Structures are given as structure tokens and as C-alpha cells.
Chain A
Amino acid sequence: MIAEVGLAALWLAAALSVLQLMSGVFAVRGHDELGALVRPTAIAQGALAAVSFGMLVWLFLITDLSVKLVATNSHSAKPWIFKLAGSWGNHEGSMLLWVTVMALAGGLIALIERRIPEVTMRATLAAQAFVAIGFYAFILFSSNPFERLPMPAVEGQGLNPLLQDIGLAFHPPTLYFGYVGLSVAFSFAVGALLTRQVTPDFARAMRPWILGAWIFLTLGITAGSYWAYYELGWGGWWFWDPVENASLMPWLAATALLHSVSVLAARDALRTWTIMLGVVAFSMSMLGTFLVRSGILTSVHAFAVDPERGTFILFLLAIYIGGALAVFGLRAGSISEGARFSFSSREGALVFNNVMLSAILGIVLLGTLYPLLTEAFDVRVSVGPPYFNPVGAIFTIPMLLVMAVGPLLRWRQDSLARIKLPMVIIAVIMLATLALVVILGAYSLLADLGLAVAVGLAIASVLPLRGRNLLRVPLATWGMVIAHFGIAVALFGMASESAFSEEKLAAVNVGDSTQVGPWTVKLESVTPVAGPNWTAIEGRLQASYDGGEPTEMSPQARNFWAPVQETTESELATRWNGQLYAVVGNEASQGRWQLRLWWKPFVTFIWHGGMLVALGGLLALIGRVKTDLKRRRGEDFVDEESADAEAVA
């Protein structure tokens, strides 16, 4: 019964999304008879989708084994938290979660958004419904999560202890929230294109969704990178793998969008560009999903790949993105140009950074799709760090330099001469850092430049706070400062890891020691251990930093027998100034064991930086929502304008 209620609610939600689309389209075309239906329909659609997903969660919580999805992915003996996570830890459930979050977001804007003209709002909700219909159709026709088995299973199949990882359980929803936030921005962009009403109010309505999406994407990428770092046992933290690129591209587009929407909100400039980015950002999430799920590109991440699903997603992609770009081609020319500004102004710096971010996005996109292109001519290539790192850096470094000075500039028109002193100071600090790292013996060009820029940027990023009463600085400005500082921190970690990492591959006897960087590592013993579906050899290490108190480490080399697979369980020793990364390998000759050790100075800054960036986004979001609420209550009209004028987060 629960499954049937869920399925019925899903069908109803799908039907309502059709109604929402049609009444919205009529409203835009000037037949407003059905216009009043749009908002209530969107709210009802959100509620029904939530009911449907709620039913699925319920089925998982009570482990209803007559439902195929539950029987395949759950088990009565699982802890409840993993039963819960099991409801979206599979293709069907994750699609349902996707469409539910999207429907809820649509319902929410229908409920609360009153700033922009009603007809634009209706066009936006129609676009939202249009996107949702495709996903409803996908779920209902090819991935029904409520399908029953002909006979209930005796027990479920999903008791794999390896998959009971809290990080794995909450990683996909994080990315989905990001993608869905961008879908709302997309709908706003399409809505505004249809009615040609691109205004600062429109930008303010769109901004919280972009900020929210951007926070989730930042967290998702940061967590994913750390996961790859400790789980894969290769010592790297980013591999330019298609799946990683698929998550990076929406982030780059969202970052650009976030900044251009702030220009639009504060200064009514960059209208067409913001619309374009709104379309591109969501396109990148769809494209990423397509690349990952269709199996069209080879990746180190194994997914349940299904070419049929790939075809379906490509079809959706062609309709949504193709449609939006066609509307863009038709309408964008008739959107009037916004306010003008001089190049040496806050807007000027933001435009420069937007162009650079778009260029980086283009480079990542090209590198990711290039193998697809060459395969059409039967040439198999793999595009990796030798392309992405230097080519990306050409645009990243100028972007970071402008990012350092941009926030110091005034809106509309400013002269660089006014900020000469801070610029000179930042430049001197960068040059000094560069000299210092060269003296320290790091000769990798990109890494050295990265370190110099990171230090300069870290200092520059807090300069907007100078000479101000910190208690009166708007939250959005704090958000910008912290996010920019976070970028500097992450960059420092990346550059330091690349410049100063030391690697040691040694074959040692039990009882012997080896050196890596400032660490002395002693192999105490090697013992066999066994888990539920694996056996392993575990090395016990005593690692001491600079002769200090030893830390115990126990990396493993595991052999799984179903399916047969060898994995390395690396072990990390973390200090404030870096990590020791230890992997144990096979037995070498004469009773010696292979040890692979890395000393990675300041590597953890990469992920701390990522968290800071997300925190900055969160502060900005809170600040924006607070001013929105104030404005609603009719207070402080001026406050928001001035907050916008001050900060771009």
C-alpha cells in the first residue's frame, strides 16, 4: 500500500507539473485565465513529490522486501541510518530525490518570492515545471522505484559493510542540492528571457539559490577530493578524472554566475551575461550527470552505467539546454543593455574574473570532451594533468591577481592610483614569497607561483576589512572575505603539496627504519588480519616527527574475495603543518616489505580552504536572506542597496 501511495503521488505530481507548464506558458503569451493557477500548482507539486519520496523512505525504514528496490539495496539488519540513506543510495531513489528537491524548491519560490513581476515569476515556474516533467517521465517510465517483486524476497541484499560509510551516504545528496539550486537559477534565467525583464530585483531573487547551490557544490567537491586522497591510496588529491571534472565544471560556472549576479543586483549591469551563465551553470550539471551516467567516457570511478539511461539524459539535455539556448538566441538581442562602467572599477575586475573563470571552464570542458571527439576518429587519448595544469594556470593566475585587488576597487569608476599602496604591498609580499620558496629549493614553476600568489592573496583578501568597525561590516562582506581567504588557503595547500612533497618507496625488514622528510618511520611488525569479506596484511609503523613522540600507524593491503579486488588502506598521520601518508605493499624479497611513504607539507590546507570557501558562502547566504526578510518587513530599504554596493560575495 505504501508503495502504491508513493507511485500515485508521483504520477499526480507529474500531472501537476504538466498543468504548471501549460498555465505558465499561457500566462506568458498574454492569456492570463490560468495564470493564477501557476503558484498553487507548484506548491501542490512540491508537496506531492515530497509525499512520494517520504513513502520511499518509509519503505526503506520498515524494509518492505516486496519492493524490488528495497530488496536489492537494503537489509533488515542494517542500522536505521543506513536504511534511510539506502533510499537514495541507488539510481531510482536518487532520481526521485532529485526531482523531489527540485519540486520543493519550485514550491518554495512559488510560496515566498514576491519581488519580481508576476508574469516573470510564472514564466520561471513554467520553466521549472518543464525541467521537472522530463525527470518525472524518466522515473515513471524507466526507473520506477516503487516496483514490486512478483513474490517478496526473504531477505534484502544490501548488507555490504563497505557501503555503510556515512560519507558515502551523504555525498550524493550534497551534490544534488547543488545541482537543483542551479536548476532554479536556470528557471529564473529562462523566465526572465521569456519576459525580457532582467532587473536587479530579479538578480536578488535568484542569488540565494545560486549561493546555496554553490555552497553545496563546494562542500561536495572538497569532500570528494579528500575521499579520493585517502581512499585510492595513490597519494594524489585531484586526478582530472571525468567524474571530478563533471563536478568542477558546474562549480566554475556557478562561481562566475555568483559574481555576475551580484553586479546585476548592485549595479544593473551584465544583464545578458548573467542570463547566459544561468543557462550554462545548469547545463554543466546536466552535462556532468550525462557524462558520468552514460559511461560515454572512461573514468576511474565505476558507476552503474547504462547506455539507455545515457540516451535518455542526452535527450533531456538536448531539449532543456538546446531550448534555453535557442530562446537565448532569439531574445537576448532584445534585452536592453544595462548600466555602463569603466574598466578600472569593481565591475571591471568582476568582468575580468568572469571571463577568466569562463575560460577555465572552457579548458576543463574541452579537456574532458576531447577524448570523446578523438574517439569518433578512432584515436584513443587520455587528457591529464600535463594539459590541465599549465593551460588552466594561464588563466587562473591572472584571475587570482585581479581577485586580490578587485574587492578594493569602488563600483562604477575608480582609479588604480587610489589603491597603489596596497597593490605595491601585495606585489612585494608575492615577490618575497617567490624568492623564499626558490631559496628553500622548490623549482617547480607553477607551484612556486602558486605559493607566491596564495600568500599575497591571503593578505589581500582581508584588506577590505581594514579601517572598519568589524561589528558593522555586513555578513555578505564577511562572506566574501572568508571565501577569498579560503581560496588562498586551498591554493597554498595545493602549491605546497606539489612543491615540497617527499616520496619514499622502500623495502624494509621488520624492525628497520626509513626516513621521509622530517619523519623517521620504523616497521614494527607485519600481521595478517581478516575482515567480513577480505583478508589483509597490516603493517604496524612507529612514525616520529623530527625525533619526537612516535605515532602508531597501521596501513593495510587488503584482498577482497567477492568480487576479487586488491585495495590499499592508507593511513595518515596529521600535524598542523602537513600529513604523513603511509601505504603498505606486498612482500619484497628476503622478508622485506614494501613501504610507500609521502610527507606532504600543508596538504590539509586544501580541504580546510575548501571548507572556508563554503563557510564564506554560508555567511553571505545568511546575510542576504536576513536583508531580504528585513526588506519584506518594510525596514531598511537602503540597507540592502548599500550592502549590495559594498560587497560582492
Chain B
Amino acid sequence: MKRLWLWIPLGLFALFCGLAAYQLTQPKDEFVRSTMIGESLPQFDLRPAYASLPGAATADFTDGKPKLLNIWASWCIPCISEAPHLERLKASGAEIVGVAIRDRPEDVARFLANYGNPYSRIGADDLSEVQLAIGSSGVPETFVIDGTGKITYQHIGDVRAGDVPLLLEKLQEAGQ
């Protein structure tokens, strides 16, 4: 066919699209997978970040009941987004222990007054030490901890509506 060359650009482009689509569906090994999954929680004992709730310590996680560990901060906007979903998790029976990163008691109190308080305990991590030790690189992050203090799951970023059932399921798995 005489006009065959007119189709060459489309052919090349199709080749590119195929390649790009293939690459996009490949898991990226740059993805940060926590090496802490399956490990025990690091040792910590944090002072209370909020006057009317106790602080958080490693010992709190070894009472046999699986819990969620939520890394958050009052200065974090996605934490506002996830607040209603944490409330739903709590309403479904999840116990949530908070770790407030680089925060001040009055800011924490104001945040909880504004956006609700789903936490049973909140520890104050003033220098991000616990955050780093647990393998979290940002706020918010949510970890599932089984009844013996082992990390079984890590959720990076804010908890959205669709994540609630998944986290409940992970929590149930951790209890078995």
C-alpha cells in the first residue's frame, strides 16, 4: 500500500502506549514497604499529650486485645479529613491509640474539641522518636498492632471512607 507510511506514527505511538501501560501496572520496587511488619513495637513510654487521657507506652499493647496505633498531629490537614473515619472505626469497636507528633497540649485539646476524639490514649512524641522507630515517615499513618505488641499492618496516609472496612478486617485478623 502506497500510503502505508502515514500509519507509521500511529504504530510507534501504539508501541509506546503498550510499553507505558505495561510499566504502569508493574509494581514499583521503590515503594516503601515497612520492614517493621511482623516485628514487635519498639520500646517507648510517652507522656500524655492531652490532659484527660493517659499517655501511650509499649506495655499498653500487650494486653491481648488488638489495637490501632494512629500517628497524627494537630497541625496536619489530612488528619482533619480522616477524623470522621476514625470516629467510625471507634464506633465499630476499634480501640485507637494516638501518638501526637511534635505537638503542644493546647493545640491537641483544640483539635480534639473541633474534630472529635476517637482515642483511648494519646502519647506525645515531641521529637518524632517513636514515629521514626516504628517506621513511619509522615503523618497521618495508622498501624494495626496485635494483642502481643506485634505490628501486623501499616496504612500510609489519611484513612478514607473506603479504608475503614479494610482496617476493621485487618484488626480482626490480628485478633485471631
Contacts and interface: CB of A to CB of B under 8 A. Distances in A.
Interface of A: 68, 71-72, 149-151, 153-157, 276, 279-280, 283, 287, 290, 294-296, 298, 307, 310-311, 314, 317-318, 321-322, 325-326, 328-329, 332-333, 369, 372-373, 375-376
Given A68-B81, A307-B24, A332 B6 contact: yes
B30 to A, nearest CB: 8
Interface stretch (B12-20, B147-155, B167-175): B12-20
A314 B21 contact: yes
Nearest to B8: A329
Contacts of B6: 328-329, 332-333
Contacts of A369: 16, 19
Nearest to A307: B24
Given A311-B24, A369-B16, A153 B77 contact: yes
Given A157-B75, A333-B6, 11 more contacts: A72-B77, A150-B84, A151-B80, A317-B17, A325-B13, A328-B9, A329-B7, A333-B2, A369-B19, A373-B19, A376-B19
29 contacts: A68-B77, A68-B81, A72-B77, A149-B77, A150-B84, A151-B115, A153-B77, A155-B75, A157-B77, A276-B9, A287-B16, A290-B20, A294-B20, A294-B24, A311-B24, A314-B20, A314-B24, A322-B14, A325-B10, A326-B10, A329-B10, A369-B16, A369-B19, A372-B20, A372-B23, A373-B19, A375-B23, A375-B26, A376-B19
Contacts of B7: 329
A292 to B, nearest CB: 13
B110 interface: yes
A318 B16 CA distance: 10
Nearest to B110: A154
Nearest to B14: A322
Nearest to B21: A314
A326 B11 CA distance: 9
B10 A372 contact: no
Contacts of A155: 75
Contacts of A332: 3, 6
A156 B83 CA distance: 17
B127 to A, nearest CB: 10
B3 A151 contact: no
A649 to B, nearest CB: 27
Given A71-B77, A322-B10, A322-B14, A296 B20 contact: yes
A375 B23 CA distance: 8
Contacts of B52: none
Contacts of B13: 283, 321-322, 325
Contacts of A151: 80, 83, 114-115
A366 to B, nearest CB: 11
A332 B17 CA distance: 22
A144 B2 CA distance: 48
Nearest to A365: B16
A71 B21 CA distance: 34
A149 B84 CA distance: 10
Given A149-B80, A150-B80, A157-B76, A325 B9 contact: yes
Contacts of A294: 20, 24
> Which of B6, B19, B22 has its CB near the most chain A CB atoms (within 10 A)?
B6
A373 B16 CA distance: 9
Contacts of B80: 71, 149-151, 153
Contacts of A373: 19
Contacts of A376: 19, 22-23
Interface string B34-64: 0000000000000000000000000000000
B24 A318 contact: no
Contacts of B77: 68, 71-72, 149, 153, 156-157
A325 B8 CA distance: 9
A307 B2 CA distance: 41
Contacts of B115: 150-151
Nearest to A279: B9
A68 B13 CA distance: 38
Contacts of B17: 314, 317-318, 322
Nearest to A308: B24
